[in-house]
């Protein structure tokens, strides 16, 4: 339910010059790293004592002068190094030129109007537009660029009332997971006084009368704890338009289970409120149902355990449809009749196939089923009785998204893209199956100059793993090419081919892009996911290491020319792999990573990740596994580590920046070689969502410049 995918708070303060300090000097250009104090912190886990010398760097940078001063010194060093790279400004200039194209999302229809997001090229935030018909003149509905001067306040979500009168919308400040929700009258643009706060991991679900909506929220955190304290005791409320949040009606809570979270869904016919209870990142849910036609009826549990996935799709009267992995590790669609809810009466509507079922919606009275076929998008349509109708045809290797709509719609829209193919929007006729090209993004490059292919390589234990490779045509396989290997491998998240301006810039510079579909993801269903979790997590690192070895063996690159990259769980991936095989890479780019595997569950949303990682506190065997690969704990002195640019952000309240701070400090203390080990800390930015365009371009330019310098190659940079 909650998947945690993929960044410098400078505060004047005193330099840290305490008695317990370490100072490390890199040989290259005599880089002198900031002095970082250590503390005598030792924790005991199941009889094993573990040192944590940089525990103090976990403190919130907004609250701690010592941490703020450390951040300031690290950023001063890092940005000084990056600015000294001759190609850095040219890289940013070219990336800005590539980024400067009109981006328009596939439109969707709500309450008799069409909506779409648009960015004219370099706007910091996308703008939400509306129009009466597809041919009528559109107008701006919500423009987040007017909400802040630096572009760091973003639109995080929208929900339209059934009658089209209102839109509830979420506001995200500085990338935080905390959202504030407001309400606007669509016709007039008037913003109402309603303001709902302390909402995280929840959206708004309107009742059919359009008088209000359901949502879930947490209690207001204690002063100074909003960005680090654990998120507990989520409650479901009903908000009526025009009333203060203090008057919202409590719909459901479970004080006996403070760790439970809830997603709210209202069936399209407005008959039922479906509460999906979750406890972590695994797709394991309880289902609570409330009949909205009975105002005084109490919610009741349809599914009373967390054993399997039950993702609500929609209803047909008392028949509820779910995507589930019950007796189907690659998922299927079932129907549960509320009049006979016992398991023996459940009906299979769409059986499991050889491919993993990712998502299901109902448009035009057909199930729109999105599958992954070797990590490529496959969309199949089924009638309401489950009968197969047709498959949507796509123009090659890539990813499709969209297919939004309602039961009575006869059309829908989707976008298709790939590594070297900018997004194209298509209008799809649900009756005839015709796809009509509506719009193709005009990026200033020639897609025909690039080639994308999918290969399969063998991991350490013999597992066959897919990997996409994209680069300029005519590449010489002589081992001299700079290459960027990206991976994630976790939380059942599938990595598919998609367009990225920064990756295009990398390939344009002469780089090879490789994206490995590691275990731990959802590319092949639940078995693939579970093969990369908890005691099996080492499989993910083995898969990534094997991908690097394959690229080297096939002479796409060499160790000195190979960089690895990943964010969030992918940052953990990069940190673990560089600790295990520092000889295999020339440079590493771990972003917003989970680096301390013994304490991740003690901050904000970290407790949810126990589903994938396990717990050092609760299980001795899991502790040993976590300690064995935890990036922070496995950096050792006397080892020549690859050049490393750690990236994080001061307001990341998903993976708190203390992870990256501690890892960077330990890396600088451990580095025995001359490769630079730096950390870049972004200001007023979070885990990634809502980051303004200007910051995205600056960070990507810094990363590619770092690779140009440390992989030692001469990039081809277009004017």
Pairing of strands 562-567, 587-591: parallel
Tell me how many degrees the CA angle 58-59-65 measures, rounded to the nearest 5: 135
Pairing of strands 562-567, 483-486: parallel
Distance between CA atoms of residues 23 and 357, nearest Å: 52
Crossing angle of the two packed helices 538-553 and 620-629, in degrees rounded to 10: 30
Distance between CA atoms of residues 245 and 151, nearest Å: 27
* DSSP three-state, residue 563: strand
Distance between CA atoms of residues 699 and 7, nearest Å: 8
Tell me phi and psi for residue 462, to 5 degrees.
95, 0
Distance between CA atoms of residues 467 and 556, nearest Å: 13
Tokens of 182: 């407001």
* DSSP three-state, residue 84: coil
Segment holding 315, helix H or strand E: strand 310-316
Residues whose CB falls within 8 Å of the CB of residue 191, separated by 6 or more in sequence, listed in order: 182, 183, 184
Q: What share of the chain is helix, strand, coil (3-state, %, to 5)?
A: 20, 35, 45
Distance between CA atoms of residues 392 and 376, nearest Å: 13
Catalytically annotated residues: 568, 652, 687
Tokens of 190: 């008037």
Tell me how many degrees the CA angle 107-111-114 measures, rounded to the nearest 5: 20
Find the farthest-apart pair of alpha carbons in the chain and give their distance in angstroms, rounded: 76
Q: Where are the alpha helices (DSSP H) in 485-601?
A: 501-508, 526-530, 538-553, 569-580
| Residue carrying the six token digits 């089209």 | 164
- Strand intervals (E) in 178-226: 179-185, 191-199, 205-206, 212-217
* DSSP three-state, residue 357: strand
| Residue carrying the six token digits 């929007």 | 425
Per this entry, what is the length of the chain?
719
Distance between CA atoms of residues 616 and 613, nearest Å: 9
Distance between CA atoms of residues 629 and 615, nearest Å: 13
Distance between CA atoms of residues 599 and 650, nearest Å: 19
Segment holding 679, helix H or strand E: strand 677-682
Distance between CA atoms of residues 348 and 357, nearest Å: 14
Cα atoms in the Cβ-side hemisphere of radius 13 Å centred on 380: 19
Segment holding 428, helix H or strand E: strand 421-429
For the chain, counts of helices (H) and of strands (E): 10, 43
| Residue carrying the six token digits 């459901």 | 252
- CA-nearest of 697, 688, 492 to 591 is 688
- CA-nearest of 264, 261, 263 to 279 is 261
Crossing angle of the two packed helices 693-710 and 65-83, in degrees rounded to 10: 60
Contact 299, 283 (CB under 8 A): no
Burial 255-273 (b: 16+ CB within 10 A, else e): eeeebbbbbbbbbbebbbb
Tokens of 63: 């609250």
């Amino acid at each position: 339910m909650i998947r945690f995918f993929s960044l410098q708070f400078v505060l004047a303060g005193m330099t840290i010059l305490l008695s317990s300090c370490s100072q490390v000097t890199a040989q290259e250009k005599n880089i002198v790293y900031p002095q970082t104090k250590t503390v005598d912190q030792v924790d005991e886990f199941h009889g094993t004592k573990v040192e944590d010398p940089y525990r103090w760097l976990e403190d919130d940078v907004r609250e701690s002068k010592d941490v703020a001063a450390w951040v300031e010194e690290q950023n001063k060093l890092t940005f000084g190094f990056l600015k000294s790279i001759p190609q850095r400004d040219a890289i940013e200039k070219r990336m800005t030129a590539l980024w400067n194209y009109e981006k328009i999302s596939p439109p969707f229809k709500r309450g008799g109007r069409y909506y779409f997001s648009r960015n004219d090229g370099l706007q910091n935030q996308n703008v939400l537009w509306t129009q009466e018909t597809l041919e009528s003149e559109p107008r701006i509905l919500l423009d987040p660029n007017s909400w802040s001067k630096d572009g760091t306040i973003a639109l995080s979500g929208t929900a339209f009332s059934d009658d089209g009168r209102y839109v509830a919308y979420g506001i995200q400040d500085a990338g935080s997971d905390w959202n504030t929700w407001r309400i606007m009258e669509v016709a007039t643009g008037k913003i109402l006084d309603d303001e709902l706060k302390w909402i995280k991991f929840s959206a708004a679900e309107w009742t059919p009368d359009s008088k209000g909506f359901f949502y879930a929220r947490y209690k207001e955190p204690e002063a100074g704890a909003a960005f680090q304290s654990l998120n507990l005791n989520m409650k479901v409320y009903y908000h009526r338009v025009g009333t203060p949040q203090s008057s919202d009606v409590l719909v459901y809570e479970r004080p006996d289970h403070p760790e439970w979270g809830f997603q709210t869904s209202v069936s399209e016919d407005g008959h039922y409120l479906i509460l999906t209870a979750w406890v972590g990142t695994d797709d394991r849910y309880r289902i609570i149902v409330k009949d909205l036609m009975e105002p005084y009826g109490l919610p009741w549990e349809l599914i009373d355990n967390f054993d399997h996935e039950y993702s609500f799709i929609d209803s047909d009267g008392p028949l509820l449809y779910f995507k589930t992995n019950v007796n189907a590790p690659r998922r299927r669609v079932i129907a549960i009749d509320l009049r006979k809810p016992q398991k023996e009466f459940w009906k299979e509507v769409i059986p499991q196939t050889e491919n993993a079922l990712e998502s299901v919606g109902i448009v035009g009275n057909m199930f729109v089923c999105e599958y992954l076929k070797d990590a490529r998008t496959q969309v199949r349509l089924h009638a309401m009785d489950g009968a197969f109708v047709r498959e949507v045809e796509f123009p090659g290797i890539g990813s499709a998204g969209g297919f939004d709509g309602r039961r009575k719609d006869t059309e829908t829209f989707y976008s298709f893209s790939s590594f070297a193919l900018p997004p194209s929007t298509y209008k799809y006729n649900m009756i005839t199956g015709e796809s009509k090209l509506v719009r193709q993004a005009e990026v200033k490059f020639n897609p025909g100059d690039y080639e994308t292919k999918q290969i399969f390589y063998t991991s350490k234990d013999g597992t066959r793993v897919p990997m996409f490779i994209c680069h300029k045509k005519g590449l010489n396989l002589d081992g001299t090419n700079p290459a960027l290997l990206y991976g994630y491998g976790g939380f059942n998240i599938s990595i598919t081919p998609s367009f990225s301006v920064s990756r295009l810039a990398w390939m344009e510079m002469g780089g090879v892009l490789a994206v490995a579909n590691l275990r731990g993801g959802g590319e092949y269903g639940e078995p693939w996911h579970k093969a990369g979790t908890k005691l099996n997590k080492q499989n993910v690192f083995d898969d990534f290491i094997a991908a690097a070895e394959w690229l080297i063996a096939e002479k796409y690159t060499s160790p000195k020319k190979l960089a690895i990259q990943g964010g969030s769980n992918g940052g953990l991936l990069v940190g673990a792999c560089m600790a295990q095989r520092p000889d295999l890479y020339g440079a590493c780019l771990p972003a917003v990573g989970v680096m301390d595997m013994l304490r991740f569950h003690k901050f904000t949303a970290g407790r949810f990740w126990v589903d994938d990682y396990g717990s050092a506190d609760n299980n001795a065997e899991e502790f040993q596994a976590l300690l064995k690969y935890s990036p922070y704990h496995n950096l050792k002195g006397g080892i020549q580590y690859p050049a490393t640019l750690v990236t994080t952000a001061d307001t990341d309240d998903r993976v708190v920046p203390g992870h990256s701070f501690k890892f960077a400090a330990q890396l600088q203390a451990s580095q025995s070689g001359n490769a630079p080990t730096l950390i870049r800390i972004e200001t007023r930015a979070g885990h990634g969502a809502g980051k303004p365009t200007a910051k995205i371009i600056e960070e990507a330019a810094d990363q590619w410049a770092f690779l140009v310098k440390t992989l030692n190659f001469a990039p081809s940079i277009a004017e």
